[in-house]
Amino acid sequence: MALALAEHGIDVTLFDRNEQLLSRTAIANEGKVHLGYMYANDPGYSTARMMMRGALAFAPFFERHLGLAGDAMAVSRPAAYVVHRDSQRTAEDVSQYLAAVHALIRESSRQRPDAYFGRDLDADLRMWSHAEREAHFDPQVAVAAFDTPEVAIDPVALADAVRSRVNADRRIAVRTGHEVISVEDGDGLEVVLRAGGRAARERFDHVVNALWEGRFAINEKRGLLPDRPWMHRLKYGVSFRLPEGAGKPPSATFVSGPFGEVVSYDDGLTYLTWYPVCLQGISSDITPPQWPTYPSEPLRSSLLQGTLSAMAQFVPALRDLAPDELQDVSVKGGVIVAWGRTDIYDPASELHQRFAIGVTSAGRYHSIDPGKLTMAPHFAEVCAGRILQDRVR
Ligand SMILES: Cc1cc2nc3c(=O)[nH]c(=O)nc-3n(C[C@H](O)[C@H](O)[C@H](O)COP(=O)(O)OP(=O)(O)OC[C@H]3O[C@@H](n4cnc5c(N)ncnc54)[C@H](O)[C@@H]3O)c2cc1C
């Protein structure tokens, strides 16, 4: 967002209560740049359409602002979508859903064939043979699998690149260690802050609330409380580098329901998340607890061991991995903010539909719910567009 505005000559001040930008959920996710295949429980395709809009804007945004060519960004091996035997949708349903979403992706990418990291989005999705499923999974658990072109990026590497770029931009002032308390009307909009134990106020022409888990609290003080139920869910994931010589698991997304993912990179970087183990908290409060990004012991070890052993039951490449042999182990978690009253174990939960997200503007106050990392560049451009339009009026 700051980069999109600074590009047009607008001065931007970024406030974050943490000591470093991009050090919360932005670095604690698996970095999947969603094309929409995940949302078979939203059969109207609204979530899929939304995700592909974000996905096709993602690499071009960073190419423009970071000078990183889309096809030069390190991406994971593409994900197979794997139907779990306890799936909320049958293999037939998932197969039809994936094919329909793929047709939409083909259509949307026709004008921008290289937009998704320079990858081919045109080839048909391929269903795996029984022998392939047997080679990579327990075929009793993985009842069907389909190749897709969907990839992930390493969010830690991306955050490092964005942070350096933002810090170097003379139009962007970075104020970490500043907690936003409220945004009040005055001469323009005044951001009320707490920093180093002191209160402060700063005046701006426009204010953008992109505080993710802290967003509702500031909106509420401006009378912008949502009129539908929401959930803040704390979810962890584990990443590590495989020991030398270990076989790489395939990247795989298990659908549909409370399952998880393997994200596998050619250099051995591997990310795992398994919902029943990694989901560690739910809050429907306006302000959720400030759950730690890095869990302390014994939770850290139990997340690592629990995730590995749950997934090793049906992913043979994970079976022989001992937690103490893994390198660069990182266990991190963040909040997922989404509309819904019941958890994803409920096939009718609103959590299965993620299209009601985006930018809400009330005058010169803008609140962004990116919904997903995938969507952040797209909504940054939408919000920057509104601010620029207001300035030319
Ligand atoms: C385990 C997990 C896996 C995920 N996987 C994916 C995925 O594969 N693909 C995908 O697209 N999305 C994924 N997501 C979602 C994605 O990570 C989030 O949608 C996105 O990171 C949220 O936006 P953000 O990065 O700005 O949030 P954050 O990094 O949390 O940024 C918000 C910032 O606001 C600051 N802040 C909050 N309140 C205040 C305040 N009052 N004053 C000052 N500063 C404040 C915080 O310190 C924080 O730095 C996942 C999320 C989780 C938890």
Residue nearest to ligand 1 atom 52, measured at CA: 29
pTM of this prediction? 0.97
Q: Is the CB of 237 under 6 A from ligand 1?
A: yes
- Atom 48 (ligand 1) nearest CA: 24
Q: Are both 297 and 368 inside the same structural domain? A: no
**Average pLDDT in the chain:** 96
242-249, long-range: CB within 8 Å, 24+ apart, which pairs?
A: 242/268, 242/270, 242/321, 242/326, 242/327, 243/321, 243/325, 243/326, 243/327, 246/317, 246/320, 246/321, 247/317, 248/77, 248/317, 249/136, 249/315, 249/317, 249/318
Whether ligand 1 lies within 6 angstroms of the CB of 291 is answered as no
pLDDT at 208 over 90: yes
Say yes or no: 155 and 13 in one domain.
yes
Q: What's the whole-number mean pLDDT along residues 370-381?
A: 98
The number of beta carbons lying within 10 Å of the beta carbon of residue 317 is 20
Query: What mean pLDDT is predicted for residues 225-250?
Result: 95
Same domain? 367 vs 261:
no
Write the pLDDT tens digit of every residue in 326-362: 999 999 999 999 999 999 999 999 999 999 999 999 9
**Predicted confidence (pLDDT) per residue in 12-70, tens digit:** 999 999 999 999 999 999 999 999 999 999 989 999 999 999 999 999 999 999 988 77
For residues 241-245, average pLDDT: 92
Please indicate, yes or no, whether residues 315 and 387 belong to a single structural domain of this protein: no
The yes-or-no verdict on residue 223 having pLDDT over 90 is yes
Lookup: tokens for 346: 């409920």
pLDDT in tens, 77-113: 999 999 999 999 999 999 999 999 999 999 999 999 9
- Taking the CA of residue 376 as reference, the ligand 1 atom at the shortest distance is 23
CA of 47 to the centre of ligand 1 (A): 19
Same domain, 267 and 340: yes
- Total domains in the fold of the chain: 2
Pocket test of ligand 1: the residue of 373, 379, 383 to mutate, having most ligand atoms within 8 Å of its CB, is 373
Whether residues 146 and 42 share a domain: the answer is: yes
Query: Which residue range forms the structural domain that includes residue 210?
Result: 160-227+358-392
- Model pLDDT for residues 154-168, shown as the tens digit of each residue: 999 999 999 999 999
Quote the pLDDT of residue 295: 98
Position 43 scores a pLDDT of: 87
Helix (H, G, I), strand (E, B) or coil at 129: coil
CA 216 to mean position of chain CA atoms: 19
Residues 294 and 204 in one domain: no
Question: Quick one: pLDDT band at residue 71, thresholds 50, 70, 90?
Answer: confident
Q: Which two tokens stand for residue 87?
A: 């799936």
pLDDT of the residue at 134: 97
Claim to verify: residue 216 and residue 173 sit in the same structural domain: yes
Residue 72 has pLDDT above 80, yes or no: no
Any ligand 1 atom below 6 A from CB of 28: yes
Give the whole-angstrom CA distance, residue 102 versus residue 100: 5
Do residue 134 and residue 280 come from a single domain? Answer: yes
Pocket lining: 372 vs ligand 1, CB cutoff 6 Å: yes
Residue 128 pLDDT greater than 90, yes or no: yes
> What CATH number has the domain bearing residue 258?
3.30.9.10
Closest approach atom of ligand 1 to CA 278: 1
My answer on whether 10 and 121 are in the same domain is yes
The two three-digit tokens of residue 172, written as one number: 């962007």
Same domain, 272 and 334: yes
Best residue among 3, 156, 211, 307 to mutate for probing ligand 1, ranked by most atoms within 8 Å of CB: 211
Please say if the pLDDT value at position 393 is more than 80. Answer: no
Q: Is the domain of 383 the same as that of 317?
A: no
Substitution candidate for ligand 1 out of 29, 148, 335 with most atoms within 8 A of CB: 29
Distance 341 CA to ligand 1 centre (A): 20
Which of the four pLDDT bands, split at 50, 70 and 90, describes residue 194? very high
Give Cβ neighbours of residue 152 (< 8 Å, ≥ 6 apart).
30, 31, 32, 33, 75, 76, 79, 251, 263, 271
